[in-house]
Structure 1
């Protein structure tokens, strides 16, 4: 490997390192935002489940069948 190739390799590595330093914080921010969005969506779904009215459960059998009839 001659001097020109080595200088080219070093220059390429410097440019890639600078690109990583610039792009890495942005990538970390995007990942953080996605996590926060997921947490907010899950919290909203849990809140909707709490706020949603539950269907009323019917008692087993009607009132006339709960008590023995005497005729």
Structure 2
């Protein structure tokens, strides 16, 4: 391996490292958003199960509250 090839390899590694530094925060953000979305979906399902189990509440009150939470 001569000097030109070594310089090309170093340059390529530097570019890949810089790309990783730029892309990594975006990937972490996407993973965080997906986790939050999953937690919100599970909480909504649990709340719907609780609301469905309670028959003493009027249906319109729980429906309007559920609608306000999802918007």
TM-score category, normalised to shorter length? 0.7 to 0.9
TM-score by length of 1: 0.74
Aligned residue-pair number:
55
How far apart, CA to CA, are the structure 1 residues paired with 2:23 and 2:16? 10
Q: CA RMSD in A?
A: 1.4
Q: Name the counterpart of 2:17.
A: 17
Larger radius of gyration: 1
1:16, distance to aligned residue in structure 2 (A): 0.2
Deviations 1:8-54 (A, max 9, x none): 00000000000000000000000000000000000000000000146
Q: Structure 1: which 4+ aligned runs deviate by more than 3 Å?
A: none
Unaligned residue ranges in structure 1 (runs of 5+): 56-71
Which structure has more helix as a fraction of its residues? 2
TM-score by length of 2: 0.74
Unaligned residue ranges in structure 2 (runs of 5+): 56-71
